[in-house]
Amino acid sequence: MFAYNEEAAIRESVHSALAAGRRRFAAEDVNVVVMANGCTDRTADCVRDMSHSNPAVQVHELTVGDKATTWNWYVHEFADLTSDDHLHLFMDGDVTCTENVVQSMVDALVQLPTANACCVLPAISVGRNRGLNERLYEVDGAIFGNLYGLTNTFLKRIRDAKIRIPAGAVGEDAYVTEMVALDLDRNNTYDNRKAACAHADSGFIYRSLSYWNVADIRLQLNRLVRYQIRDWRLPILRRVNFADFPDTMQPIDQQILQQLHNKWLLHPIQWLARRRLQRRASTSFSKS
């Protein structure tokens, strides 16, 4: 579970994940590892409080607030890949999940044994983006970073190939989607059914944003800027194979800034995205 300053939501997220896991597996076979990356609030303390009474809950703190770096750390340093009976679920610390979601993911993978991953859609009660997510899965086999699963065998292959998402990447799920569909090699044919999809009656749940809340408006604006940066980066990274990804996004961002040099007819979101890249050009990345 990825958590960046999620003090208000983390307990509910962890409880929902435990409940979903234990509906399908024995309690001793379910573990929740919260990766608190770059937190400046009490997120890690909240999880430590939970771990005192429940050893199935763990917290690991990383100093850098970067989801890609945290993903790499889990896959290459922490994950126990000794048993192919393991299923690794990746979940954001600001969402909860329906109690049947793990069972639905396992069922979907059993029905599609050649899959590398399992996609989860927003719960029916959420509404926002569900239709879009359904279409993205149907067409591209997309997975969504709020909650998805990767098989143990697939993670072992990522580790063996030393594939890492560049530090500072925005939207790690876009890169993982392509790794899954191309089976870790861009020379392969894109297969949009290398990801199974959990049943429609299960899903993840997130807080709805309000158009009247200043903090929510800022959050949505930041999200649009991040998506713009991601959309600029993806075509460049698609020219190289996954094992040849750069360590960080900085060389990619330099190429983007060169392409945008002296371009003034930009959409306001594009202008904000360029300004963000310019600020980072001479410094190391922070939370993307």
pLDDT in tens, the chain (288 residues): 999 999 999 999 999 999 999 999 998 999 999 999 999 999 999 999 999 999 999 999 999 989 999 999 999 999 999 999 999 999 999 999 999 999 999 999 999 999 999 999 999 876 567 888 999 999 999 999 999 999 999 999 999 999 999 999 998 999 999 999 999 999 999 999 999 999 989 999 987 766 777 777 888 888 899 999 999 999 999 999 999 999 999 999 999 999 998 887 889 999 999 999 998 876 654 443
How far apart (Å, rounded) are the C-alpha atoms in residues 261 and 264? 9
Sequence-distant (≥ 6) Cβ neighbours of residue 146 within 8 angstroms: 91, 92, 95, 120, 122, 204, 206
Which tokens in the block code for residue 94? Answer: 């600001």
Question: Is the separation of the CB atoms in 46 and 96 below 8 Å?
Answer: no
Can you give the residue ranges of every domain in the chain?
A: 2-206, 214-280
**CATH fold for the domain made of 2-206:** Spore Coat Polysaccharide Biosynthesis Protein SpsA; Chain A (3.90.550)
pTM: 0.91
